[in-house]
């Protein structure tokens, strides 16, 4: 296997990366928003599944 030629510069910047804490903060904000929508009767099964997934992801970030 031949080594690949590197591109002249990376196509991402350090600013594009989130720390675990930043990701958790964004999840918390989104969870609060979705929870409000569900409480207001604007939710459906898909939104509730999304909420459950976000809560699971948040728990993952807090465990480490």
The residues spanned by each domain of the chain are 19-63
Smallest CA-to-CA distance from 31 within 9, 10, 50, 17 is with: 50
pLDDT tens over the chain, length 64 residues = 466 776 676 666 666 678 889 999 999 999 999 999 999 999 999 999 999 999 999 999 888 7
Percentages of the chain per state (helix, strand, coil), in multiples of 5: 65, 0, 35
Q: Note the pTM of the prediction, 2 decimals.
A: 0.73
């Amino acid at each position: 296997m031949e080594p690949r030629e590197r591109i002249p510069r990376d196509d991402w910047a350090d600013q594009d990366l989130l720390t675990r804490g930043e990701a958790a903060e964004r999840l918390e904000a989104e969870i609060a928003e979705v929870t409000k929508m569900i409480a207001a009767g604007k939710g459906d099964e898909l939104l509730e599944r999304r909420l459950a997934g976000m809560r699971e992801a948040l728990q993952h970030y807090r465990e480490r």
